[in-house]
Amino acid sequence: MVEASLVRSSLLATADNYCTALEGKVAASRNKRDKGYLAVVKTMGMLQDLKDGVVTIPSLAPEPGSEVREASYSDLKRVFCKEGDQWAKVGSLLRNPEVPVSVNLDKAASRHLAILVTTGGGKSNLLALLAKRISDVNGTMIVFDHHGE
């Protein structure tokens, strides 16, 4: 999963005033090798294990220069959208909205659960959805709302 990406210019990185930055911009536009690309990624697990619902983090990081491929729709769907009574669809992936996302109700509701999101982020909607799905399978849920909403 890509957590951050950055494109930088070594010529512009050291510019500390307008004139130097302007000169650096002109020089950088002529030098195709001036641009450097950096991505910060997080390993979510081994793909085959994730498809089977098991998280297995590799013991070694990939070698520099390893091939990188975009995950296919079918792989993403198999990892993030599970079927069955214990699963509830709660939304979709931010960067791939056509991929539905499910949560395991047994794991989410069998212990303490906090829903923490900024204002307008969908806390109430998620809570209502989880409560509805839990009641659909004759489950029990206790909700404490510290703000009386």
Tens-digit pLDDT profile for residues 71-88: 899 999 999 998 888 888
pTM, to two decimals: 0.64
Cα 98 to chain centroid distance, Å, stands at 15
Q: What is the SS3 string spanning 56-89?
A: CCCCCCCCCCCCCCCCCHHHHHHHHCCCCCCEEE
Torsion of CA 53, 58, 64, 68, to 10 degrees: -10
pLDDT 10s digits, 95-132: 899 999 998 888 877 778 888 888 888 888 888 888 88
**Cα-to-chain-centroid distance, residue 93:** 8
